[in-house]
Structure 1
């Protein structure tokens, strides 16, 4: 039955397919194929997308020959052109057979109709600096140097929407580690001293306040958090077991994994041997207490591969009945989160094996990391896809039987997890292709072929998920990525939402990075770049909190921020991690995989502050897993001096730089290194 008197505020995304100055109106075609007539009028305003710096980027030239005495038609001629991608916010009305969509805000993505602001050289750098400065200002006010005591006194996991402390004084280890990742990443791509100083203090406090070593020193666990007493007896309480709602009283593996996220990124910058030792001992913990290899049957485990999601802090086993619904379980976090949280960055730093006296221990650690990467990617490829659903299974019993009864998840999919798998399997495919090329050059024909086959399997699953999420996870009318959906819809629709049709910030990151890297992995296929741009546009238009130089955790389907309750907090995961990871890798992927055009270059630079030591006398600087022939080092600046001719390898696929002959700073012994990269256009 037709609707009568129906009105709705609505956002549309698409491409202009026709313009009718007489009405005045234009037609916008969404990715769904639907075409909407968009009527403009005196209440329509046109905006070119802005960044967190709020600088107006409207440089659209006035049109020749347009009627200057008619402001509505003049603006239509100025801003609307056939083929231009747009987002439009307006009012949709239905009354019987009559429909109308009147534009209130028309969002342009660049002043030029065929360009995108988020592909400019500086776009993501602006986001990083704005966010990092505001986070540090919120926590430490005007300080520009930082100590352990500063983090002990001022750091809080929970901040309100204005960045001010709440009544909860908790300091969560995994969230502080994410902040360490943010600060390390901000330094990596900007070289700003403030971020390095803050990262160094955060690293020291993290290691001092939350690290728990085993009696023999071989294993390292990380406490959930600390809470300072605000009344009565002075001091603070340490919580070793998790206080999270799904993990109460347990040691969840994903919290231990994310304790390494910041430490590993910091290690990439500095080669700090003490930090690496904590990383090594934490990985020992994963292997000894959570891992389920075939010979684990001797301990009473299933022996089916992968990692248990939780262990009991008393028995230190995954099969304690005290774990409740987490008894003998495996899930996406316990298998897949190893890859983005620490494995990629650690393997990038250790492979190829660094020079120096520590090559033996580093080789042992590298072999362990590669074995984890191989096992987890194989399991994701083999166990997670479901032929009966567009979405992967995310939770399992320890024999890999899918678990569709777990608490809130039931038989539901988190769209972002599907895209996270697509992103990380594509990264891993690049690594295996890179290793295949090395082995082929060494005459290791069978090993090279095995790596090539493993890469093909990873990429096939990644592409399948990317293709399916384009319609089963992305909003084909408005852009953006939905949250939680039913894996097997029963409502006769392509998507059935578990709760609301809302969109969360971290899932936008997964989609953007998945489609950017899939574009890089499939040269000549423009589909993935189109999807990446659609997701990037939604993020940059609707998730950025321009007033407070941050971002919103959740929006409505139309991109309106939701700030009720916990969603208005600048806390926990929302303090930055996914946004900084997005900015860093979107910057790298765009510079590497997307042709700049218009005379711009495809270069970028990374900054390192290396602790000089005999154990490691070289540094690997490849930004992410890349197939051979995609990047090359253009320039190397060491301690302010151009050392390119002396330090750059003649092999363009060699990203290891010798530090042996470089002097450390007399104050702190560090070597400052700036590496400039250029992308190589695929053949």
Structure 2
């Protein structure tokens, strides 16, 4: 759904919007649960379909999260609908987003010590329930529960609405990350898992004291986005720290590409961070590297960042694109050959859909054209009548440095339209009783 919506934003092709809207409607009809008593929205873990019979699975079936409601599933349920909302302003989507955020605030948030818990009990909705011990998830916090709000839905929600409460949520998210995730006295990698009091959890499941390389890069990328909304020296310093450390600690300096999971620390006598399981390279971690170094170059103007971005993009384009059958490989081996065994031979699974690959297409085009090469871009929207508050269509393609781009042209249903704010990047829509097709041109300054 996210992929279809992003494709429409870039191309204006109706088939992509049709896919996004049908997909969103399917999610609402089949995977969404509205609790009338609590006035909250939950999203099911999955569906088990047998003929005409459809069984909804509320709790996770995955070993790491079994019999719980993991927050990352609720977060990523919003990714596609929120991107679709940016295009259409469908008020039903906004209702679902708001009620899901209410769920986060009521049951996942730690109001005392900050951040969000990673799992809650499906019956009591308690993050401290003893039932969560079976997955070692009682009263725990992690990158997914604290930080994944921003790239999955929250930045796009702010882009669509401009509301201060979502900017505040973003600032809270990144201040929490900046305060707790840095651990540079002990490791070049961030600390990703925590107990309730923010002490480090180095005994959880598969992660133990290992680092997910892509999460470090993801933090740098999103810190730079946030810095363009509410600038702070701490955000830039943290992003620069990650950008400086990661190439030696997490990338393949000989063959190119970025590794998956490695040890966070060196054992005595070691010079390189050990692979936790293998030396394969996953598609989504390449995305984080490309976007992180692109936005760092675009905002901070350092050519070294552009070199890393181009190297990562070259490896991805050479090895991850299946030019015979289409789509993107899940994993490649260290030398770039596709890894086609087990679940990793699939191009679609519970952990791989269109989100990461199309997010890379969309945002790499935005950063390359608007921030680096200074080339105008067109974007497309199709707002519903009265969908957006006060008929204001916000068209900024991402959180970019203030004053770096302007809205220079607007067409509605193929005709020039001049009621727009060039600097604030919004269109004042005319009153209408039908969907309007809006084309905008964003031009670098």
Coarse TM-score class (shorter-chain normalised): over 0.9
Whole-angstrom CA distance in 2 between matches of 1:528 and 1:478? 18
Cα drift, residue 605 of structure 1: 0.9
Match in the other structure for 1:540 = 317
Encode CA deviations 1:250-299: one digit per residue, 9 max, x unaligned.
Answer: 00001000011111101000011111011000000000000011xxxxxx
Residue from 397, 418, 423 that aligns with 1:653? 423
Cα drift, residue 329 of structure 1: 0.1
8 A contact 2:171–2:230 mirrored in 1: no
Match in the other structure for 1:503 = 281
Match in the other structure for 1:207 = 28
1:313 aligned counterpart, secondary structure: coil
| Alignment of structure 1 residues 142-541 onto 2, 5 Å | 180-216=1-37, 218-230=39-51, 234-293=52-111, 303-324=112-133, 325-351=136-162, 366-387=163-184, 388-433=186-231, 455-490=232-267, 492-523=270-301, 525-541=302-318
Encode CA deviations 1:150-179: one digit per residue, 9 max, x unaligned.
Answer: xxxxxxxxxxxxxxxxxxxxxxxxxxxxxx
Residue from 624, 635, 641 that aligns with 2:398? 624
Whole-angstrom CA distance in 2 between matches of 1:270 and 1:478? 43
Encode CA deviations 1:294-335: one digit per residue, 9 max, x unaligned.
Answer: xxxxxxxxx100000000001110011111100000000000
Whole-angstrom CA distance in 1 between matches of 2:147 and 2:93? 23
CA 368–634 in structure 1, closer or farther in 2 if over 3 Å, else same = closer
| Alignment of structure 1 residues 596-635 onto 2, 5 Å | 602-613=375-386, 615-635=389-409
Whole-angstrom CA distance in 2 between matches of 1:607 and 1:529? 28
8 A contact 2:191–2:200 mirrored in 1: yes
Encode CA deviations 1:452-495: one digit per residue, 9 max, x unaligned.
Answer: xxx21111101100110021111111111111000002151232
Cα drift, residue 367 of structure 1: 4.0
Whole-angstrom CA distance in 2 between matches of 1:636 and 1:244? 47
Match in the other structure for 1:678 = 443
Cα drift, residue 213 of structure 1: 1.4
Whole-angstrom CA distance in 1 between matches of 2:431 and 2:361? 31
8 A contact 2:2–2:354 mirrored in 1: no
Cα drift, residue 210 of structure 1: 1.3
Cα drift, residue 218 of structure 1: 2.0
8 A contact 1:662–1:671 mirrored in 2: no
Whole-angstrom CA distance in 2 between matches of 1:314 and 1:655? 45
Encode CA deviations 1:573-618: one digit per residue, 9 max, x unaligned.
Answer: 323210000000000000012226xxxxx01111101001175411
Whole-angstrom CA distance in 2 between matches of 1:483 and 1:211? 32
TM-score scaled to structure 2, two decimals?
Answer: 0.96
Residue from 367, 378, 389 that aligns with 1:589? 367
Whole-angstrom CA distance in 1 between matches of 2:198 and 2:107? 19
Whole-angstrom CA distance in 2 between matches of 1:237 and 1:557? 41
TM-score scaled to structure 1, two decimals?
Answer: 0.63
Whole-angstrom CA distance in 1 between matches of 2:283 and 2:167? 30
Q: CA RMSD in A?
A: 1.3
Encode CA deviations 1:392-437: one digit per residue, 9 max, x unaligned.
Answer: 001000100010001110000000000000001111011113xxxx
Whole-angstrom CA distance in 1 between matches of 2:402 and 2:166? 21
More off after superposition, 607-616 vs 545-554? 607-616
More off after superposition, 485-494 vs 315-324? 485-494
Match in the other structure for 2:326 = 549
Match in the other structure for 1:637 = 411
2:382 aligned counterpart, secondary structure: strand
2:104 aligned counterpart, secondary structure: helix
Cα drift, residue 368 of structure 1: 3.4
2:55 aligned counterpart, secondary structure: strand
How many residue pairs get aligned? The number is 439
Encode CA deviations 1:161-220: one digit per residue, 9 max, x unaligned.
Answer: xxxxxxxxxxxxxxxxxxx11111111111111111111111111111111112336211
More off after superposition, 485-494 vs 247-256? 485-494
| 1:663 aligned onto 2:435 | no
1:413 aligned counterpart, secondary structure: strand
